[in-house]
Amino acid sequence: MLKGVQMYTLRDHISNKEQFEASLRRVKQIGYDCVQMGTPVFMKPREVKSLIDEIGLYSCTAYADFEQLAANPASIKAVIEEAKVYDTDLVGIGTLPEKMRDSRDGFKHFAKTANVVASELYKEGCKLIYHPHALEFFSLGGGDHGMNILLNETDPSCFYFSLDTHWLASGGVNPVEWIYKVEGRMPMVHFKDYAIGGNAATIESVVKLFAEVGEGNLDWTSIVDACHKTSVKYAIVEQDICQTDPYECIKTSYQNMLKFNA
């Protein structure tokens, strides 16, 4: 697998062009192959492409706002052009809109709308890639949850997933089981660990932490093996909240990924 960093992890260090370039160089110096990001507001896609080419990195996705894609065909055209600039066929979106998250009908409506968007992207050689969090495992009753709807009611030819190991654990499911469930539909996985802090004020409290790969409670040997067996191409480190310096966090994750043969 190619190893990458979701630049959201370094968001406090990329507020201008100079910081952005310096951060990319540090990412490359650690050993990473690629990055996942939206185009910064202070640069154009071709400027970013020229910079990452010079540094020796690769941008594995273009990024778009789902509601804009659904409402405006021009947004679909724009993100396709951006994907072409970055030489990628993956168009990433975040979690489904808030108004659709708390009911079966909401998840079904999102799946139906996403299929339309994904089919338009597919016509131009692009795949829509969706990044779930824990909320997709919100119970709909009877043992069902929203993620089942997204898996079963989206078009497998053009709607893909980027599962996240931490959020799967946070959602109460087995990460390895879900990696196999989306086999053939997951070119990219997000790697971060799920850790429990020991400073709970009461025994009923759960101090959940975002942790570096290999520094929490997840079974990385099984996770990495499942990713290899399902032909995941990109392993992207994303740490939403770092307890120490973010650069040290992504360095630790990278070193541990090597140990686990990721």
What would the pLDDT profile of 203-231 be if each residue is shown by its tens digit? Answer: 888 899 999 999 999 999 999 999 999 99
Give the chain's mean pLDDT. Answer: 96
CA–CA gap between residue 57 and residue 45 (Å, rounded): 14
DSSP 164: B
CA–CA gap between residue 17 and residue 15 (Å, rounded): 7
Q: What's the one-letter identity of residue 85?
A: V
CA of 40: how far to CAs of 46, 67, 115, 195, in Å? 11, 19, 28, 31
Q: What is the pLDDT of residue 143?
A: 86
Residue 11 near residue 38, CB atoms below 8 Å: no
CA–CA gap between residue 128 and residue 42 (Å, rounded): 25
- pLDDT above 90 as % of the chain: 95
Residue 70 near residue 79, CB atoms below 8 Å: no
Q: Looking at beta carbons, which pairs linking 10-15 to residues 24 or more positions away fall under 8 Å?
A: 10/246, 10/247, 10/250, 12/246, 13/246, 13/247, 14/40
Does the pLDDT value for residue 237 go beyond 90?
yes
**Does pTM top 0.85 for this prediction?**
yes
Q: What is the pLDDT of residue 205?
A: 87
Q: What is the pLDDT of residue 206?
A: 87
pLDDT tens-digit series, residues 114-126 = 999 999 999 999 9
CA–CA gap between residue 213 and residue 252 (Å, rounded): 7
- Catalogue all structural domains in the chain, each as residue range(s) with its CATH number: 2-259 (3.20.20.150)
Nearest to 4 by CA among 164, 238, 240: 238
SS3 196: strand
- Distant-in-sequence, close-in-space partners of 108: CB < 8 Å, separation ≥ 6: 149, 153
pLDDT band at 200 (very low <50, low <70, confident <90, very high): confident
Does the pLDDT value for residue 234 go beyond 90?
yes
- Distant-in-sequence, close-in-space partners of 73: CB < 8 Å, separation ≥ 6: 120
Does the pLDDT value for residue 27 go beyond 90?
yes
Q: What's the one-letter identity of residue 210?
A: F
Location of structure tokens 């960093």? 5
